[in-house]
Structure 1
Amino acid sequence: MGRLAAILLLVSGTVLLQVGAQGVLLGIVRSLGRRTRDSSEFWRTFWISLGAVVPLIFGHLAQVGLWAGFLLWRGALQTYDDAFYFSLVTFATLGYGDILLAPGFRIFGALQAACGSLMLGWSTALIFAAISIARSPADRS
């Protein structure tokens, strides 16, 4: 597989997983919105926030797993544990540097950090939107 094809595959997979998590989030938030319509603002916000955060966390873990699987498959790292740890640290843009990719694979680390930053920011916006909807008086009618 060529480098460009691998990059397009990984970035597309990351975005597809994010959109899938968004779909789950939307369904959960709508359902919780109906079920908590008569609840206090605190409990309504609590349940809708939880319903927004949980699918996004699992979506991000799936994205990290996709990157880890690729790095293991291509031989960039030797164990899945190392690949998952490296991917999680890179996706979250922490970049500890205790595990490094060989020079031929470093572009994937940089791209993973860029995708992680974008996906985490996107999730933050979605959580904010869900909480805003939960607190909206117009939604209670």
Structure 2
Amino acid sequence: MLLTVVVTVILIGGCFLIHLWTLERLGRWVYRRKDEIRHPFPIILTTIFLAHLVEVFLYALGLSLLDWAGEGELRGAIVGGPGWFEDHFYFSIASYTTLGIGDILPHGNIRIVAGIEALNGLVLVAWSASFTYLIMERLWGRQGPGEKL
């Protein structure tokens, strides 16, 4: 159980730091270049999406480590061999997005990691949405009614 707690704390902290670093850099980039770039939102949304994928990948690595260490397993997943990590990544996406499809189920201590990942993902997706909203409001709020970017 101690390994599960340690891995979970590292995953939460790592994901928050990745997200903070990404959004901070994006915010600085947008405000430095706000007069040069006509439509920054494709770049902003792609970068945020990639940050979320990195965070999902980290959780998949953590789940794989805990599975390998005997702290639990994913039932319904491929056991060993090709496709083993892909199942952990797929399960991680379903957990992070709180989709919870249910074709792969966690058993043992990794159930805790799956639940925490859902909470962590919910917070980070909300953070991304509020960041994007604030950037849009500040950039588009400079215009008068009916004006285009």
Give the TM-score band, short-chain normalised: 0.7 to 0.9
Measured in 1, the distance between the counterparts of 2:54 and 2:26 equals: 15
Structure richer in strand, relative to its length: 2
Q: 1:112 Cα shift?
A: 0.3
| Residue matched to 2:19 | 18
* Structure 1 match to 2:117: 112
Q: Is the contact made by 2:4 and 2:110 (CA closer than 8 Å) also made in structure 1?
A: no
Q: 2:48 aligns with which of 19, 33, 56?
A: 56
SS at the partner of 2:34?
helix
User: Using a 3 Å threshold, how does the CA distance of structure 1 residues 31 and 80 change in structure 2: closer, same or farther?
Assistant: farther
- State how far apart, in whole Å, the 1-side matches of 2:102 and 2:33 are: 41
Rounded to whole Å, the distance in 2 between the matches of 1:9 and 1:85 is: 20
CA distance in 1, matches of 2:132, 2:115: 26
Q: Secondary structure in 1 aligned to 2:102?
A: coil
| SS at 1:98 equivalent | coil
Task: Write the letter of the residue equivalent to 1:65.
Answer: F
The one-letter code sitting in structure 2 at the alignment partner of 1:52 is I
Separation of aligned partners in 1, 2:66 and 2:102: 20
Query: Displacement of 1:132 after TM fit?
Result: 0.8
TM-score w.r.t. length of structure 2: 0.79
Superposed counterparts of 1:34-113, under 5 Å: 34-36=35-37, 44=38, 47-75=39-67, 76-77=73-74, 78=79, 79-113=84-118
SS across alignment from 1:2? helix
Looking at structure 1, the residues matched to 10 and 113 of structure 2 have their Cα atoms a distance apart, in angstroms, of: 12
Structure 1 gap ranges (5+): 37-43
**Residues in 2 aligned to 1:89 and 1:32: alpha-carbon distance in whole angstroms:** 36
* Per-residue deviation, residues 40-91 of structure 1 (Å, max 9, x unmatched): xxxx3xx222232111101000000000011112224551100111111110
Question: Is the 8 Å Cα contact of residues 96 and 122 (structure 2) preserved in structure 1?
Answer: yes
Deviation at 1:31, TM superposition (A): 4.1
Deviating 4+ runs (over 6 angstroms): none
User: Where is the helix percentage greater, Structure 1 or Structure 2?
Assistant: 1
Unmatched runs of 5 consecutive residues or more in structure 2: 68-72, 144-149
Work out the number of aligned pairs and report it: 129
Assess if the C-alpha contact under 8 Å between 1:67 and 1:87 holds in 2. yes
Between 1:117-126 and 1:68-77, the stretch displaced more is: 68-77
Indicate conservation of the 8 Å contact 1:91/1:112, yes or no.
yes
State the AA in 2 paired with 1:98. Answer: D
